[in-house]
Amino acid sequence: MPIVFVTTIDPVGGGWVESLSRPGTNATGFAAYEFSMSSKRLELLREIAPDIKRVAVIRDPSVPAGSGGLAAIQTAAPSLGVELTPVSVRDAGEIERAITAFARGSNGGLIVVGPTSSVERYRDLIIALAARHRLPATYPGGRFYVTGGGLMSYGPDPIDQYRRAAGYVDRILKGEKPADLPVQQPTKYELVINLKTAKALGIDVPPSLLARADEVIE
Protein backbone atom coordinates (compact mmCIF):
# COMPACT_ATOMS: atom_id res chain seq x y z
CA MET A 1 0.00 0.00 0.00
CA PRO A 2 1.54 3.36 -1.01
CA ILE A 3 1.98 5.89 1.79
CA VAL A 4 2.36 9.67 1.49
CA PHE A 5 3.40 11.25 4.81
CA VAL A 6 3.51 14.91 5.83
CA THR A 7 5.22 16.88 8.64
CA THR A 8 7.43 13.90 9.53
CA ILE A 9 10.35 14.88 11.79
CA ASP A 10 13.05 12.49 10.50
CA PRO A 11 11.91 10.20 7.65
CA VAL A 12 15.30 8.45 7.36
CA GLY A 13 15.99 8.10 11.09
CA GLY A 14 12.43 6.95 11.66
CA GLY A 15 12.81 4.17 9.09
CA TRP A 16 10.21 5.46 6.66
CA VAL A 17 12.65 5.74 3.74
CA GLU A 18 16.18 4.67 2.85
CA SER A 19 17.21 8.18 1.79
CA LEU A 20 15.51 11.48 1.02
CA SER A 21 16.47 11.43 -2.65
CA ARG A 22 15.60 7.76 -3.24
CA PRO A 23 13.03 6.55 -0.68
CA GLY A 24 13.28 2.93 -1.88
CA THR A 25 10.14 1.91 0.03
CA ASN A 26 6.38 2.15 -0.35
CA ALA A 27 6.45 5.54 1.42
CA THR A 28 7.41 9.07 0.46
CA GLY A 29 6.27 12.53 1.34
CA PHE A 30 7.29 15.75 3.04
CA ALA A 31 9.76 16.26 5.89
CA ALA A 32 8.67 18.61 8.67
CA TYR A 33 11.87 20.64 8.72
CA GLU A 34 15.11 21.53 7.07
CA PHE A 35 16.99 21.32 10.38
CA SER A 36 19.75 23.69 9.36
CA MET A 37 17.06 26.40 9.37
CA SER A 38 16.73 26.06 13.16
CA SER A 39 19.63 28.47 13.63
CA LYS A 40 17.41 31.15 12.10
CA ARG A 41 15.22 31.00 15.22
CA LEU A 42 18.18 31.95 17.38
CA GLU A 43 19.02 34.83 15.06
CA LEU A 44 15.42 36.07 15.19
CA LEU A 45 15.33 35.81 18.98
CA ARG A 46 18.48 37.92 19.25
CA GLU A 47 17.01 40.41 16.79
CA ILE A 48 13.78 40.89 18.73
CA ALA A 49 15.56 40.87 22.12
CA PRO A 50 19.21 41.95 21.58
CA ASP A 51 20.14 41.72 25.27
CA ILE A 52 19.65 37.94 25.39
CA LYS A 53 22.81 36.06 26.41
CA ARG A 54 21.33 32.77 27.63
CA VAL A 55 18.80 30.58 25.82
CA ALA A 56 17.00 27.48 27.05
CA VAL A 57 16.19 25.13 24.16
CA ILE A 58 12.99 23.17 24.86
CA ARG A 59 13.15 19.84 23.01
CA ASP A 60 11.78 16.31 22.84
CA PRO A 61 14.50 13.95 24.18
CA SER A 62 13.22 11.11 21.99
CA VAL A 63 14.34 13.04 18.89
CA PRO A 64 18.12 12.98 18.20
CA ALA A 65 19.78 16.40 18.59
CA GLY A 66 20.75 16.49 14.92
CA SER A 67 17.23 15.61 13.80
CA GLY A 68 15.48 18.08 16.06
CA GLY A 69 17.45 21.17 15.09
CA LEU A 70 19.39 21.47 18.36
CA ALA A 71 22.70 20.81 16.61
CA ALA A 72 22.18 23.71 14.19
CA ILE A 73 21.33 26.05 17.09
CA GLN A 74 24.43 24.90 19.00
CA THR A 75 26.59 25.61 15.95
CA ALA A 76 25.24 29.15 15.59
CA ALA A 77 25.26 30.06 19.30
CA PRO A 78 28.99 30.97 19.75
CA SER A 79 29.00 33.47 16.90
CA LEU A 80 25.93 35.14 18.41
CA GLY A 81 27.40 35.19 21.92
CA VAL A 82 24.68 32.98 23.38
CA GLU A 83 24.99 30.23 26.01
CA LEU A 84 22.57 27.35 25.46
CA THR A 85 20.77 25.19 28.05
CA PRO A 86 18.90 22.19 26.55
CA VAL A 87 15.69 21.33 28.42
CA SER A 88 14.06 17.95 27.74
CA VAL A 89 10.26 17.77 27.58
CA ARG A 90 9.21 14.68 29.55
CA ASP A 91 6.47 15.87 31.90
CA ALA A 92 4.90 19.09 33.14
CA GLY A 93 6.75 19.08 36.47
CA GLU A 94 10.16 18.77 34.82
CA ILE A 95 9.39 21.58 32.38
CA GLU A 96 8.21 23.93 35.13
CA ARG A 97 11.21 23.22 37.35
CA ALA A 98 13.68 23.63 34.49
CA ILE A 99 12.26 26.89 33.16
CA THR A 100 11.82 28.34 36.65
CA ALA A 101 15.43 27.53 37.51
CA PHE A 102 16.66 28.94 34.20
CA ALA A 103 14.69 32.16 34.72
CA ARG A 104 16.57 32.95 37.94
CA GLY A 105 19.46 34.15 35.79
CA SER A 106 19.37 37.34 33.72
CA ASN A 107 19.18 38.02 29.98
CA GLY A 108 17.43 34.73 29.20
CA GLY A 109 15.18 33.55 26.39
CA LEU A 110 13.55 30.37 25.10
CA ILE A 111 13.56 28.45 21.84
CA VAL A 112 11.04 25.64 21.44
CA VAL A 113 12.09 23.12 18.79
CA GLY A 114 9.68 20.71 17.19
CA PRO A 115 6.82 20.37 16.91
CA THR A 116 6.58 16.84 18.25
CA SER A 117 3.75 15.25 20.22
CA SER A 118 5.59 15.90 23.50
CA VAL A 119 6.17 19.57 22.72
CA GLU A 120 2.58 19.97 21.52
CA ARG A 121 1.22 18.39 24.70
CA TYR A 122 2.80 21.06 26.88
CA ARG A 123 2.49 24.00 24.50
CA ASP A 124 0.15 26.03 26.73
CA LEU A 125 2.31 25.39 29.80
CA ILE A 126 5.48 26.55 28.05
CA ILE A 127 3.77 29.71 26.78
CA ALA A 128 2.43 30.44 30.28
CA LEU A 129 5.84 29.92 31.90
CA ALA A 130 7.52 32.19 29.35
CA ALA A 131 5.00 34.92 30.19
CA ARG A 132 5.27 34.38 33.96
CA HIS A 133 9.05 34.64 33.95
CA ARG A 134 9.16 37.33 31.25
CA LEU A 135 11.26 35.26 28.88
CA PRO A 136 11.21 36.20 25.17
CA ALA A 137 10.53 33.00 23.25
CA THR A 138 10.31 31.73 19.71
CA TYR A 139 8.24 28.71 18.73
CA PRO A 140 7.98 26.24 15.83
CA GLY A 141 6.03 27.07 12.69
CA GLY A 142 2.29 27.36 13.10
CA ARG A 143 0.49 30.55 14.06
CA PHE A 144 -1.43 28.79 16.87
CA TYR A 145 1.63 29.18 19.15
CA VAL A 146 1.43 32.94 18.69
CA THR A 147 -2.35 33.23 18.79
CA GLY A 148 -2.09 31.33 22.09
CA GLY A 149 0.10 34.06 23.57
CA GLY A 150 3.58 33.16 22.33
CA LEU A 151 5.86 36.00 21.27
CA MET A 152 7.03 34.75 17.89
CA SER A 153 7.02 31.66 15.69
CA TYR A 154 9.14 30.79 12.70
CA GLY A 155 8.98 27.64 10.64
CA PRO A 156 7.42 25.83 7.71
CA ASP A 157 3.77 26.39 6.89
CA PRO A 158 2.21 22.99 7.77
CA ILE A 159 -0.86 23.58 5.58
CA ASP A 160 1.37 24.03 2.55
CA GLN A 161 2.75 20.52 3.06
CA TYR A 162 -0.73 19.00 2.85
CA ARG A 163 -1.41 20.88 -0.36
CA ARG A 164 1.82 19.57 -1.87
CA ALA A 165 1.08 16.05 -0.64
CA ALA A 166 -2.06 16.04 -2.77
CA GLY A 167 0.19 16.34 -5.82
CA TYR A 168 2.11 13.21 -4.79
CA VAL A 169 -1.14 11.31 -4.22
CA ASP A 170 -2.22 12.26 -7.74
CA ARG A 171 1.08 11.09 -9.27
CA ILE A 172 0.94 7.76 -7.42
CA LEU A 173 -2.66 7.15 -8.50
CA LYS A 174 -1.49 7.74 -12.08
CA GLY A 175 1.12 5.00 -11.79
CA GLU A 176 4.31 6.44 -10.26
CA LYS A 177 5.95 4.56 -7.39
CA PRO A 178 6.64 6.12 -3.97
CA ALA A 179 10.14 4.61 -4.08
CA ASP A 180 10.96 6.89 -7.03
CA LEU A 181 9.51 10.12 -5.61
CA PRO A 182 12.04 12.01 -3.45
CA VAL A 183 11.10 13.18 0.03
CA GLN A 184 10.76 16.94 -0.19
CA GLN A 185 11.84 19.59 2.30
CA PRO A 186 9.67 22.56 3.28
CA THR A 187 9.68 25.45 0.82
CA LYS A 188 7.35 27.94 2.52
CA TYR A 189 8.38 29.44 5.88
CA GLU A 190 6.34 31.86 7.96
CA LEU A 191 7.24 34.43 10.62
CA VAL A 192 4.42 35.41 13.00
CA ILE A 193 4.78 38.02 15.78
CA ASN A 194 2.43 38.85 18.66
CA LEU A 195 2.69 42.58 19.47
CA LYS A 196 0.52 42.25 22.58
CA THR A 197 2.98 39.74 24.06
CA ALA A 198 5.92 41.90 23.01
CA LYS A 199 4.39 44.88 24.85
CA ALA A 200 3.83 42.77 27.98
CA LEU A 201 7.51 41.80 27.90
CA GLY A 202 8.62 45.39 27.37
CA ILE A 203 9.95 44.64 23.90
CA ASP A 204 9.92 47.17 21.08
CA VAL A 205 9.88 45.03 17.97
CA PRO A 206 12.28 46.45 15.35
CA PRO A 207 10.42 47.85 12.32
CA SER A 208 12.69 45.82 10.04
CA LEU A 209 11.50 42.63 11.72
CA LEU A 210 7.84 43.64 11.52
CA ALA A 211 8.29 44.35 7.81
CA ARG A 212 9.49 40.77 7.26
CA ALA A 213 6.67 39.15 9.25
CA ASP A 214 4.03 37.19 7.36
CA GLU A 215 1.49 37.97 10.09
CA VAL A 216 1.43 40.45 12.98
CA ILE A 217 -1.07 39.83 15.77
CA GLU A 218 -2.13 43.00 17.57
Where do the domains of the chain lie, and which CATH numbers do they carry?
3-32+157-180 (no CATH), 35-155+188-217 (3.40.50.2300)
d(CA 125, CA 72): 25
How far is the CA of 36 from the CAs of 28, 66, 72, 195, in angstroms? 21, 9, 5, 27
Mean pLDDT (whole number) for 53-60 = 91
**pLDDT attached to residue 3:** 96
Residue-wise pLDDT tens digits, 173-213? 999 999 999 999 888 889 999 999 999 999 999 999 999 99
d(CA 10, CA 64): 9
Q: Report the range out of 10-14, 86-90, 108-112 with the highest average pLDDT.
A: 108-112
Q: Is the pLDDT of residue 67 over 60?
A: no
65-74, 90-99, 118-127, 204-213: which range is least confident on average? 65-74
Number of C-alpha atoms within 13 angstroms, CB side, residue 213? 22
Nearest residue to 59 via CA among 73, 40, 44, 49: 73
Residue-wise pLDDT tens digits, 8-21? 878 888 889 999 99
Say if residues 148 and 118 touch (Cβ distance below 8 Å): no
66-75, 150-159, 160-169: which range is least confident on average? 66-75
Please state the pTM of the whole predicted model.
0.85
**pLDDT attached to residue 65:** 54
Mean pLDDT (whole number) for 114-139 = 89
**pLDDT attached to residue 64:** 60
158-162, 169-173, 190-194: which range is least confident on average? 158-162
